[in-house]
Amino acid sequence: MRKSLDPIKVSSILDGIESLKAKLKIPPRHLFLFDRKNAEGWLIRNKGQFGQSASAFINLRDLNNETMKLPNQYGVEIRVFCNEPHAILWVEQGPQYAFKAESLLNADDKESFVYANDYKSLFDEIVLRINRALDRGTVHYAQLKWDVKTQTQTQSPDETADVNQDDESSFEIPGWMFEQVDIAAYTETK
């Protein structure tokens, strides 16, 4: 049986995960998703028996069965382990189903696996690697446009200045996303 996790240590690690939102280059029309309450409950209630990690995600703001097929989107998972300072990262571009997305992390360098001596160093390295991977994407963030009427994503390289990240009236997170988690845990970037 695994050793129980210290609630103070867990809280500090979850603070670190939450702090990533302000440091990561979150693409337009994407969300940083982290359900702290659920992560705390999972880690403390189960005493680490079923996993000693917590995850945060970056996904398309209105990810659903249709939008998950769009080619010009990013999918990120940051899985931080609480028993020692290490993490596993997934940074992908492309359709978010049936393994159609392509990894933006360098497999030769084992860039997905992050190890550090302490959690502050771990979070600094996570930010560096994810931002570097997102910069490798073939579609510049400003080129991602969403046609609200047709509910499709288009690439518009010549009109990058036309993207308005503050126009949130056109975007809606589908209700099914909130059936099992607290809506307050979802935070948007502007």
Q: Got the DSSP string for the chain? A: -PPPPPHHHHHHHHHHHHHHHHHS-PPTTEEEE--HHHHHHHHHHTTTTT--EEEEEEEETT--TTGGG-SS-EEEEEEEETTTTEEEEEEEES-SSTT-SEE-S-TTTTTTEEE-SSHHHHHHHHHHHHHHHHHT-SS-GGGEEEETTTTEEEE-GGGGGG--TT--TT----GGGGSSS-GGGEEE--
Condensed to tens digits (0 to 9), the pLDDT of residues 24-49 reads 999 888 999 999 999 988 887 766 56
Is this structure's pTM higher than 0.95?
Answer: no
Q: Got the DSSP string for 72-108? A: S-EEEEEEEETTTTEEEEEEEES-SSTT-SEE-S-TT
Condensed to tens digits (0 to 9), the pLDDT of residues 127-166 reads 999 999 999 886 554 455 544 445 455 544 433 333 334 4
Distance (Å, whole) CA 127 – CA 55 = 14
Query: Taking the domains of the chain in order of start, what are their residue ranges?
Result: 7-176
What was the pLDDT predicted at 51? Answer: 65
pLDDT over threshold 60, residue 183: no
Condensed to tens digits (0 to 9), the pLDDT of residues 91-101 reads 999 988 888 88
The angle at the Cα of 110, spanning 105 to 111, to the nearest 5 degrees, equals: 40
